[in-house]
């Protein structure tokens, strides 16, 4: 868990230090671009730290499905970006990716990972609107795709070790149990 916390802390410091000195919309867009790469990287770090093979499969399925749906919609719907750059505005791929990762973290490992990831994903979505790369509808649609993609594939992580506090007639302790399987 320490590696995940370190990556997340470094990510947040980078994000906020970049934002403090953001003079232009391009600076905010850059911070969003960095964050959209770091949220899935932090997710993969958590999966690796937990040695969570099932989580790796589920995350791959959720992010791949989310991004495939996003790309199909981008190339099917002719929606010009606010800055006029191209006609690939709807939905936001940045929002899709960020919210897919955040939802996976929340569903798989709980709210203590989900809340910071959702905050970071919300920043990514906001940065896309603020920097005129997307309309609000684009980032909402992207976020919805990310959330749905993860809800379809993600299950709750069950650790092999269970720790339960015990209190009984003045006796206090911990019950630690694990399941073992033979191969």
pLDDT higher than 50, residue 181: no
Give the structural domain span for 137: 2-157
How high is the pLDDT of residue 180? 45
pLDDT higher than 70, residue 19: no
Give the pLDDT band of residue 24 (cuts 50, 70, 90).
confident
How high is the pLDDT of residue 106? 94
Please list the residues that pair with 164 across neighbouring strands. Answer: 175
Q: Within 13 Å and on the Cβ side, how many CA atoms surround 140? A: 3
Interval 72-98: pLDDT, tens: 999 999 999 999 999 999 999 999 999
Decide if 169 is inside a domain: no
Decide if 163 is inside a domain: no
Decide if 176 is inside a domain: no
Assigned token pair, 13: 């410091």
pLDDT higher than 90, residue 3: no
Decide if 166 is inside a domain: no
How high is the pLDDT of residue 97? 97
Alpha-carbon span 78 to 124, nearest angstrom: 23
DSSP count for the chain of H helices, then E strands: 6, 2
Give the pLDDT band of residue 28 (cuts 50, 70, 90).
confident
- 155: region left, alpha or beta (phi > 0 left; psi from -120 to 50 alpha): beta
How high is the pLDDT of residue 13? 61
Residue of 68, 46, 82 whose CA lies nearest to 157: 46
Give the pLDDT band of residue 182 (cuts 50, 70, 90).
very low
Interval 131-161: pLDDT, tens: 999 999 999 999 999 999 999 999 988 765 5
Decide if 183 is inside a domain: no
**Burial, 166: exposed, middle or buried (Cβ in 10 Å; 0-12, 13-18, 19+)?**
exposed
Decide if 66 is inside a domain: yes
Quote the number of domains for the chain: 1
Decide if 85 is inside a domain: yes
Decide if 162 is inside a domain: no
C-alpha triplet 105, 109, 31: angle, nearest 5°: 30
């Amino acid at each position: 868990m320490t590696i995940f916390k370190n990556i997340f802390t470094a990510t947040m410091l980078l994000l906020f230090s970049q934002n403090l000195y953001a003079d232009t919309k391009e600076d905010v867009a850059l911070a969003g671009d960095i964050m959209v790469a770091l949220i899935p990287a932090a997710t993969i770090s958590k999966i690796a730290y937990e040695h969570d093979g099932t989580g790796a499969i589920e995350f791959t399925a959720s992010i791949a499905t989310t991004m495939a749906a996003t790309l199909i919609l981008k190339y099917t719907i002719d929606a010009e970006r606010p800055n006029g750059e191209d006609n690939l505005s709807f939905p936001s791929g940045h929002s899709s990716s960020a919210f897919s990762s955040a939802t996976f973290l929340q569903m798989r490992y709980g709210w203590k990972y989900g809340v910071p990831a959702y905050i970071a994903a919300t920043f990514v979505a906001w940065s896309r609107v603020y920097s005129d790369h997307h309309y609000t509808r684009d980032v909402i649609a992207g976020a919805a795709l990310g959330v749905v993609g993860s809800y379809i594939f993600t299950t709750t992580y069950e650790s092999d070790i269970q720790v339960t506090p015990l209190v009984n007639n003045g006796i206090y302790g911990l019950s630690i149990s694990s399941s073992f399987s033979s191969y």
